[in-house]
Chains A and B, each alone.
Chain A
Amino acid sequence: MLSDVLLTVLAPSNLIIIAAATFYGCFVGAVPGLTATMAVALLVPFTFFLDPIPAISAIVATTTTAIFAGDISGTLLRIPGTPASAAYVDDAHALSQAGKARTSLFVSLITAAIGGVIGVIILMLVAPQLARIAISFSSFETFWLACLGLTCAIFVGGGTVPKSFASLCIGLAIACVGIDVAVGHPRYTFGTFDLLDGISFIPAMIGIFAFSEVLRNVQILDKPAETIIHATEKVGAAMKAALAVVFKYPKTVGGSSVLGTLVGALPGAGADIAAWISYALTRRFSKDPEKFGKGSLEGVAAGGSANNAAIGGAWTPALVFGIPGDSVTAIAIGVLLLKGLTPGPRIFVDQPELTSALFGSFLVANIMMVPVGILAILASTFILKVPRAVMAPVILLFSMVGAFAIAGTVTAIWIVLALGLMGYYMEKVGIPLAPAILGIVLGKIIEDNFMVSMIKAQGDLSAFFDRQYSMVLGIITLGLWGLLVLRSIREISRSKPQTEG
């Protein structure tokens, strides 16, 4: 079996795809305003035509490098290339002003690779164990797990409770469109044949993450170009200095990687939140916290490793339970479903070679990132000079054609437009996107499992607490709902003094 797995992972075609995805991720991540999620959403039409393993490898490689490459514009322009670099952008930029741009970037790259590898190792160790428990889950437990995932998304998504909850309801409402599972009644299709199957997920994601990004970008075309700091350091010396930093703070890098993996595994919390939390914790326990925010290499190392570790973490619930840990894994689940693979504990039992090959590809992607990352650091000035005015129309065309390619109908382009405008508006008024994405993915799972359970139990709601695991999961979920109510009451009472003051 091991040799089979190695043959799949190290097959030249797989390696070429990973390498190509790594370059692509590097580019998209480094250009300010283009996020890792957008990179993945635009990649999906291509992965559609690949086998499952190369498809997922491409998604993983793109995310991994895009999250690292976000540091490039963060360091040289002080604009985080992806939201995941925001936590330590001040440090990275201060370092490059002090003439240490390359040192800082090499620290980012090395810690990103370490964090990514640690994240994958934890995933490899934990996921099969969890799958062993999850294999005994029935529709009751699946229902609760999906509810738990949604509740978690509200908790960690940022934004006030009503806004996060509104986002979740928007997602659930979108998931309702199409033929219902119980009796086959068409809902909210307005007589459109193409909507009977529901709102196609990939065009929806392209709309929310790519189209809305284009819309935002074309509104700031007038802004004068930022000054790029030119790195003049000697490459060899910078690399040595960066390695010295990593060896100086092994605990920071290791701890942040583990923490990042855990945060990433929470549904709704992704690489950006992992970086913020690790950065804050490292600062608290650091020997020189006063340097943080003014060019601390320790801060760069903490955030840089945490956000890449979060990518591996996010895959744990996605693979074991089919519950995505962030928007990228939400898209990846959509891709797996398109290929007829349902993520869940069964794939660990039925197709162990598939999961092993996935883990192998994750490792290869993280290793491949290092040489490509070095090239990107050396060529960074050129990457950052590509004007928005050219990027925007090109991305727009790829979004529309990509959506059309996946769905095969023009309806997909209308979905891109409608959900793109919606995502743009939500972002503008401070409604977080993550709960809505999870709502779209999990809404169907929750409804399916609820209806199946109800048919089994003949409408008896108490059946949701009859089984052992089901009861535990149910109580945790209800407990979290209680906490959410408390938090929203606190939010309201806190907003009152502001009006008086």
Chain B
Amino acid sequence: MINKDIITGVILTGAGAWFAWEAQSFPTMGGMTYGPGLFPTIAGLGLVLCGVMILVTGLMQPAVEEAPAETGPKSNWPLINALAIIASVVFFALGLDPLGFHVVAFPVLLVLLLLFRIIWWKALLLAVFVTFLVHFIFYSFLHVPLPWGLLEPIAW
């Protein structure tokens, strides 16, 4: 088990270096050494510094064995559930404009509820109910222009 600090240190150093490098191409303010690049450079170099310090302290510590909190076979469900959540957001963001709010929200809710082992008829009822609840609160009450997408012909 590799120490978490080592990975974090590498990520921070890399991200900071890229951020500061990018900032060098920004123009400067007329006749001054300060410009739009100054603050990104400070933030980037700060990240590099912290990244290196976290990396070094991580290397100094011996690789700590993760405490075997869970006894028995390790379940894959936590990972699957988390990936399902991320996939839902991607699907929602990609589908919202072309497909419309109702067409993306209902399946996202239904699939997640079923995945989390809610009985099918309860999941179905909840998904319908929450979709319409959000429609009512945001679209009807707060006048947020939720896209209709495919359902445009029956928009009300």
Contact = CB atoms under 8 A, between A and B. Distances in A.
Given A162-B50, A162-B54, A393-B116, A498 B81 contact: no
A496 B57 CA distance: 9
B35 A495 contact: no
Classify the secondary structure of A's interface with B. helix
B86 A219 contact: no
A269 interface: no
A233 B114 CA distance: 39
Given A413-B92, A416-B89, A215 B43 contact: no
A429 B57 CA distance: 14
Contact of B50 (A165, A387, A398, A429): A165
A454 B105 CA distance: 50
Contact of B40 (A49, A176, A182, A499): A176
Interface in B6-52: 7-8, 12, 15-16, 19, 22-23, 26-27, 29, 31-36, 38-40, 42-44, 46-47, 49-51
A405 interface: yes
A454 B32 contact: yes
Contacts of A396: 85, 88-89, 108, 112
A480 to B, nearest CB: 16
A346 interface: no
B33 A459 contact: yes
Contacts of A454: 32, 34
Interface string A174-191: 011000101101011000
A162 B108 contact: no
B120 interface: no
Contacts of A499: 60-62
A417 B89 contact: yes
The 4 closest A-B pairs by CB, nearest first: A180-B36, A166-B50, A389-B116, A219-B78
Interface of A: 45-46, 48-49, 160, 162-163, 165-166, 168-170, 172-173, 175-176, 180, 182-183, 185, 187-188, 211, 214-215, 218-222, 387-390, 392-394, 396-398, 400-401, 404-405, 408, 410, 413-414, 416-417, 421, 428-429, 431, 443, 446-447, 450-451, 454-455, 458-459, 488, 492, 495-496, 498-499
Interface of B: 4-5, 7-8, 12, 15-16, 19, 22-23, 26-27, 29, 31-36, 38-40, 42-44, 46-47, 49-51, 53-54, 57, 60-62, 75, 77-79, 81-82, 84-86, 88-90, 92-93, 96-97, 101, 105, 108-109, 112-113, 116-118, 126, 130, 134, 138, 142-146
12 contacts: A169-B43, A180-B36, A183-B29, A218-B78, A221-B77, A221-B81, A389-B117, A393-B108, A404-B144, A413-B96, A431-B8, A454-B34
